[in-house]
Copies of this chain bind each other. A is one copy, B any other.
Amino acid sequence: MTAHRVDGPVLVVGCGLIGTSVALALSDLGTDVHLRDLTPATAEVAAQLGAGTVDPVDAPRIVVVAVPPASTAATVLALLEEFPTAVVTDVASVKSDIAAGVTGHPGAARYVGGHPMAGTERSGPMAAAPRLFEGRPWAVVPHADSTDDAVGRLTGLATAVGAVPMTMTPQAHDRAVALVSHVPHVVSVLTAGLLASAPRSHLDLAGPGLRDVTRVAGSETGLWLDILGSNAGEVREVLTMLRGDLDRVLDALDAGGPTLSGRLADVLDAGRAGTRRIPGKHGDRAREHAVVHVQIADRPGELSRLMTHAGESDVNIEDIRIDHEYGRPVGLVEVEVAEDRADHLVRSLTARGWSAYR
């Protein structure tokens, strides 16, 4: 936990997963946190978890609005009026609509949008965690009239709870999340949707690549309806770019021969180039790692034994995945390590009795 502290009082409005997590993180730092929810019992639950108090507050320094996206703009306006000295922020995942709804109203200068890039597949105060934001980007999204003071207070709050604040305009934010989150989600859903009507026997050849591409498609429908609906314009633009690229692939497949190879090679190369631009560990660009494959029995303790032996080999594990084998009580573990440590790890694990290979 960082040593920063946030001057209070802070009022959190909406005690779901994100609101309660913000409140817990601030309370842990010693900030005076007040809680409010449309359902008072929900605020009580958050208070009992140590997120703050349900007592009323006169003049909060910061108000964090963490209500559902559809009610966010109206709630922000009401709170700007109720607390004429407070900076008001929100946590909704799409920002242009809200900025447009707030701009021009009294007190709009004290509003600055926010979007912590954190969450779990659960919801409600019981799912909250004070460290939810550690190391996560937190978009700080001023509109044209936001004051520097408002931006500074939100940046301080985000930093204090362990997040990495990134300032951007509402338009840039919504385009960015369309690109790195909403469109990848749609693509994953469409790919998974093809499987829904396929013969069962075709699915039997599925491997880890398919599971990677379709993993996010298993998410809750309601949440994604809201997100895609409120960012429809940007999602549409990026999806249209994708459809143009898809058409070029279809044309190349039609053409066959050298045309196919040339065009398809360009598309495949662009994809590789794109993956290398995704920020990797510690904000570096992604590094090239090597994968070591290890067979493990599928029972409690085996993975622990493997990790212990990997630790004894003095190799830092960058990433790890378990691919449970089809119809067998064993799993294949893919251990990703620095390229120059992979051969050492294979030798070291083999010497300890594991079936390991690159």
A213–chain B nearest beta-carbon distance, Å:
4
User: Which of B193, B204, B268, B321 interacts with A271 by CB under 8 Å?
Assistant: B193
> Bound state CA distance, A196 and B242, in angstroms?
12
**Known A196-B277, A272-B217: A324·B282 in contact at CB below 8 Å:** yes
Residue A85 interfacial (CB < 8 Å)? no
**Known A131-B295, A194-B274, A274-B196: A206·B189 in contact at CB below 8 Å:** no
A162–chain B nearest beta-carbon distance, Å:
8
User: Which of B129, B136, B191 interacts with A187 by CB under 8 Å?
Assistant: B191
> Bound state CA distance, A228 and B176, in angstroms?
30
Contacts of A57 in B (CB 8 A): none
Cβ A172 vs Cβ B202 within 8 A: yes
Contacts of A254 in B (CB 8 A): 236
A179–chain B nearest beta-carbon distance, Å:
5
- Top 10 A-B pairs ranked by shortest CB distance? A135-B325, A189-B271, A192-B274, A304-B311, A129-B357, A195-B274, A281-B324, A176-B202, A307-B307, A217-B271
Cβ B307 vs Cβ A303 within 8 A: yes
Contacts of A218 in B (CB 8 A): 271-272, 275-276
Number of contact residues on A: which range applies? 35 or more
Closest residue to A321 on the B side, CB-wise? B321
Contacts of A225 in B (CB 8 A): 261, 264-265, 268
A132–chain B nearest beta-carbon distance, Å:
7
Residue A41 interfacial (CB < 8 Å)? no
Cβ A232 vs Cβ B204 within 8 A: no
Cβ B207 vs Cβ A117 within 8 A: yes
> Bound state CA distance, A278 and B215, in angstroms?
10
Cβ A221 vs Cβ B268 within 8 A: yes
Cβ B267 vs Cβ A190 within 8 A: yes
Residue A273 interfacial (CB < 8 Å)? yes
> Bound state CA distance, A224 and B268, in angstroms?
8
Chain A contacts with B in 246-267, Cβ cutoff 8 A:
246-247, 249-250, 253-254, 256, 260-261, 264-265, 267
**Known A191-B184, A277-B203, A283-B326: A131·B355 in contact at CB below 8 Å:** yes
A200–chain B nearest beta-carbon distance, Å:
7
Chain A contacts with B in 276-323, Cβ cutoff 8 A:
276-283, 291, 293, 295, 298-301, 303-308, 310-311, 314-322
> Bound state CA distance, A317 and B320, in angstroms?
12
Residue A235 interfacial (CB < 8 Å)? yes
Binary interface encoding of chain A residues 209-248 relative to chain B, with 1 for a CB under 8 A from any of its CBs, else 0: 1111111111101001100110010011011111101110
Residue A332 interfacial (CB < 8 Å)? yes
> Bound state CA distance, A172 and B194, in angstroms?
15
Closest residue to A200 on the B side, CB-wise? B277
User: Which of B193, B228, B247, B318 interacts with A322 by CB under 8 Å?
Assistant: B318
Most B-side CB within 10 Å, residue of A183, A194, A221: A194
Chain A contacts with B in 316-354, Cβ cutoff 8 A:
316-322, 324-332
Cβ B179 vs Cβ A195 within 8 A: yes
> Bound state CA distance, A219 and B205, in angstroms?
19
> Bound state CA distance, A73 and B17, in angstroms?
58
Cβ A253 vs Cβ B232 within 8 A: yes
Cβ A279 vs Cβ B181 within 8 A: no
